[in-house]
């Protein structure tokens, strides 16, 4: 059987992709960078890939933005990071990995106005020798009461996870302020981890949302959204969680990034995939469709961006009642009736409520429920759609990602 591939989810033509990085919108153009090995469909020698779009649906792949610097602070990899706004020229901050021990510094690069060319990395922060911080990575920047701050995911020497806080008022010399959150019972109950990776901290209405990806001794777990408040703690801050829940309850969603570039939280995540044999498949990994986040009744909800939804939706496909195998389909399925479900040989059965939307792209399936909790799966074995009657769903073809 030919291995299914994706056509309208953002991915490089070849090579490896994992976390989305540096998401921003400048003059109506969205820029999404991503962890990328252009030479092979495996994780290694990570550079930053780059794609642009005006509608969050049709993506134009750009040249690799930047790669590891020989003998530099990112010689082993340019790991995850973020666009840094507020300057007279584009800037990104990311985790520079110098050797295979995984220890990182915070690197900053200045970019050209079109974000195509980038200067050499500048080390602006280091792992603190305080609070038992053993490892840190994945900077994310935010503003709080006029202060320019940043959070990073961390693992402490006792094997527990944390999110740490930096002051970045001097962009070339970030200053460690302490632990933002560590031994929090609400977050701890949401899932086991030794590092909270890719922290995203942003305001929604009058609350703060902290999103973390659960790394547990080499295993990648689920992504958790915590709703809470920020409280003063000396020079620093503390995040006090009131509640937390899984952001996406599929099996293959990890390391999302959130951008507030247009004023409304926009999220894209990594659709996980293991490294591939290049003789079988020359690419691995893609990003989710763009999701808008909101806070509804104490839950962080996800819905597909309206602009992307409109751009991707094509002609109607007639589907009969009974079983339809979703192998190598490029479909949007909107559930109109009741009793609709889908089954998978290893994942079991999923009920599809009225109003749910299912996006099928080869091996990738994204489910957007009326409740606002999304689910993402990637499996070469196809799902089967079970329809009690022909009019229970509306199916439309989806146009490919390349304009």
**In the structure, what pLDDT confidence band is assigned to residue 140 with cuts at 50, 70 and 90?**
very high
Per-residue pLDDT band for 97 (boundaries 50, 70, 90) equals very high
pLDDT at residue 401 above 60? Answer: no
Q: How far apart are the first and last CA of the chain?
A: 29
Q: Give the pLDDT band (50/70/90) at residue 3.
A: low
Nearest to 240 by CA among 165, 183, 168: 183
**Whether residue 75 has pLDDT greater than 90:** yes
Higher confidence at residue 5 or residue 252? Answer: 252
Q: pLDDT averaged over the chain?
A: 96
pLDDT score at 5: 79
Answer yes or no: is pLDDT of 399 > 80. Answer: no
pLDDT at 229 over 60: yes
Give the pLDDT confidence score for residue 105 in this predicted structure: 98
The full set of domains in the chain, from first to last, is: 15-304 (2.115.10.20), 309-398 (no CATH)
**What integer pLDDT is reported at residue 111 of this predicted model?**
98
**Three-class HEC string of 275-308:** CCCCCCCCEECEECCCEEEEEECCEEEEEECHHH
Report the alpha-carbon distance of residue 220 to residue 235 in Å, rounded.
33
Q: Half-sphere exposure of residue 63, counting CA atoms within 13 Å on the CB side?
A: 7
Strands (E), 318-373: 322-325, 330-335, 340-344, 348-352, 357-361, 364-368
- Residue 1 has a pLDDT of 45
Express as a percent the part of the chain with pLDDT over 90: 92
Task: Report the pLDDT value the prediction gives residue 400, as an integer from 0 to 100.
Answer: 64
Mean pLDDT across 18-36: 98
User: For 29, how many CA atoms within 13 A lie in the half-sphere containing its CB?
Assistant: 13
Q: List pLDDT tens digits, range 199-220.
A: 999 999 899 999 999 999 999 9
pLDDT recorded at residue 403: 43
- So what's the pLDDT on residue 2? 58
Give the per-residue pLDDT at 238.
98
pLDDT per residue as tens digits for the range 144-172: 999 999 999 999 999 999 999 999 999 99
**pLDDT surpasses 70 at 235:** yes
pLDDT tens column, 259-292? 999 999 999 999 999 999 888 889 999 999 999 9
Say how far apart CA 257 and CA 164 lie, in whole Å: 17
Q: How far apart are CA 323 and CA 326, in angstroms?
A: 10
Q: Is the pLDDT of residue 358 over 80?
A: yes
The dihedrals phi and psi of 158, each to the nearest 5 degrees, come to -90, 10
Res 294: pLDDT: 98
Q: Please tell me the distance from the alpha carbon of residue 93 to that of residue 304, in angstroms, as a whole number.
A: 27
Question: Would you state the pLDDT for residue 4?
Answer: 73
| Whole-number pLDDT of residue 339 | 97
Each residue's pLDDT tens digit, 300-341? 999 999 999 999 988 999 999 999 999 889 999 999 999 999
């Amino acid at each position: 059987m030919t291995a299914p591939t994706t056509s309208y989810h953002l991915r490089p033509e070849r090579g490896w992709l994992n976390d989305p990085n540096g998401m921003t919108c400048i003059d109506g153009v969205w820029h999404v960078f991503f962890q990328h090995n252009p030479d092979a469909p495996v994780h290694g020698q990570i550079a930053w890939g780059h794609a642009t779009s005006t509608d969050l649906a049709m993506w134009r792949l750009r040249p690799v933005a930047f790669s590891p610097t020989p003998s530099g602070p990112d010689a082993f990899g340019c790991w995850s990071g973020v666009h840094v706004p507020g300057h007279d020229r584009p800037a990104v901050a990311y985790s520079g990995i110098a050797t295979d021990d995984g220890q990182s510094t915070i690197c900053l690069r200045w970019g050209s106005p079109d974000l195509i060319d980038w200067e050499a990395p500048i080390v602006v922060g280091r792992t603190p020798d305080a609070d038992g911080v053993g490892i840190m990575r994945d900077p994310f920047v935010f503003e709080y009461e006029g202060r320019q701050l940043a959070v990073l995911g961390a693992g402490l020497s006792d094997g527990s996870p944390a999110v740490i806080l930096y002051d970045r008022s001097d962009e070339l010399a970030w200053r460690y302020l302490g632990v933002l959150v560590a031994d929090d019972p609400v977050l701890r109950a949401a899932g086991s981890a030794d590092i909270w990776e890719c922290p995203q901290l942003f305001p929604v209405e009058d609350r703060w949302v902290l999103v973390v990806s659960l790394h547990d001794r080499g295993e990648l777990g689920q992504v958790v959204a915590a709703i809470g408040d920020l409280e003063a703690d000396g020079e620093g801050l503390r995040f006090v969680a009131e509640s937390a829940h899984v952001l996406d309850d599929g099996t293959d969603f990890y390391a999302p990034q959130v951008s507030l570039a247009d004023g409304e939280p926009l999220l894209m995540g990594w659709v996980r995939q293991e490294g591939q044999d290049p003789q079988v498949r020359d690419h691995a990994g893609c990003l989710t469709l763009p999701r808008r986040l909101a806070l509804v009744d104490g839950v962080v909800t996800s819905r597909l961006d309206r602009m992307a939804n409109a751009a991707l939706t094509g002609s109607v496909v007639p589907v009969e009642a009974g079983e339809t195998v979703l192998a190598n389909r490029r479909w949007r399925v909107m559930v109109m009736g009741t009793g609709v479900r889908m089954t998978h040989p290893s994942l079991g059965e999923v009920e599809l409520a009225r109003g749910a939307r299912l996006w099928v792209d080869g091996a990738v399936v994204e489910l957007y429920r009326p409740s606002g909790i999304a689910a993402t799966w990637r499996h070469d074995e196809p799902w089967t759609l079970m329809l009690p009657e022909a009019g229970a769903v509306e199916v439309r073809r989806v146009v490919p990602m390349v304009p």
